[in-house]
């Protein structure tokens, strides 16, 4: 099982850590601006401040668990990912658009409404062999989605600017009580 040493911060390469990340009182606060640079000058992705759980897995059942808070105004950001897939980068992305948590950028696939300014408990279970991902919010099953194949996976959480649906200038999420569990 991963430890806190497996939690690796990724942030825009040209700003100091304290300008995009604040770990205070057990809460990891992460933010990014729509004009920020990616994590390196050669990285093809957009602006992000995320924690990569650097514990790569290829089999078994893996669970991400944590409390998430999204301040009002944040829109156009991925807040959680299951990274790794056969034909594209991710098996799952949960985005925030105008107060809704959605499956990728599909506004018709709302996982939960009214996520602004409140703590929600998020559980994501990835069953590699069965090829599926299940999302629970506050203990209620809210999404079942197919896995996307791939040989290596890991979890990420924070904020990652998305180019769909007019992202806000500032995007932010707060996290506490994050844990990873596995059943081989």
Q: What is the pLDDT of residues 30-60, one digit of tens each?
A: 999 999 999 999 998 899 999 999 999 999 9
Angle at CA of residue 91, ends 90 and 93, nearest 5°: 70
Look over the chain and give the mean of its residue pLDDT values, rounded to a whole number.
Answer: 95
Say how far apart CA 103 and CA 74 lie, in whole Å: 16
User: What CA–CA distances, in Å, run from 111 to 9, 67, 84, 90, 149?
Assistant: 26, 15, 21, 17, 22
- At 1, the pLDDT band (50, 70, 90 cuts) reads low
Mean pLDDT calculated for residue range 117-126: 99
The domain 4-58+70-119+149-177 having CATH identifier 2.102.10.10: the answer here is no
The residues, ordered by sequence, that sit 6+ positions from 16 with a Cβ below 8 Å of its Cβ are none
Residue 85 has pLDDT above 70, yes or no: yes
Residue 2 has pLDDT above 70, yes or no: no
Using left for φ > 0, alpha for ψ between -120 and 50, and beta otherwise, residue 52 falls in beta
Q: Please report, for the chain, the start and end positions of each structural domain, with discontinuous segments joined by +.
A: 4-58+70-119+149-177
Residue 165 has pLDDT above 90, yes or no: no
CB 172 within 8 A of CB 158: no
Residues in a beta bridge with 60: none
Q: What is the pTM of this model?
A: 0.95
Locus of tokens 């194949």: 149
Mean pLDDT calculated for residue range 70-74: 98
Count of C-beta atoms within a 10 Å radius of residue 46 = 19
CB 167 within 8 A of CB 75: yes
Q: How many residues does the chain have?
A: 184
């Amino acid at each position: 099982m991963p430890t806190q040493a497996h939690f690796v911060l990724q942030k825009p390469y040209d700003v100091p850590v304290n300008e995009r990340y604040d770990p205070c009182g057990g809460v990891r606060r992460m933010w990014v601006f729509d004009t920020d640079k990616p994590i390196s000058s050669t990285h093809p992705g957009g602006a992000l401040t995320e924690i990569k759980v650097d514990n790569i897995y290829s089999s078994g059942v893996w669970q991400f668990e944590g409390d998430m808070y999204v301040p009002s105004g944040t829109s156009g950001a991925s807040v959680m990912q299951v990274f790794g897939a056969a034909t594209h980068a991710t098996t799952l992305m949960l985005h925030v658009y105008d107060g809704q948590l959605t499956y990728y950028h599909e506004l018709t696939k709302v996982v939960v409404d009214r996520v602004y300014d409140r703590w929600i408990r998020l559980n994501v279970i990835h069953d590699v062999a069965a090829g599926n991902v299940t999302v629970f919010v506050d203990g209620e099953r809210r999404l079942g989605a197919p896995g996307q194949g791939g040989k290596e996976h890991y979890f990420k959480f924070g904020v990652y600017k998305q180019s769909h649906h007019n992202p806000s200038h500032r995007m932010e999420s707060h996290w506490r009580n994050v844990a990873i569990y596995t059943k081989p």
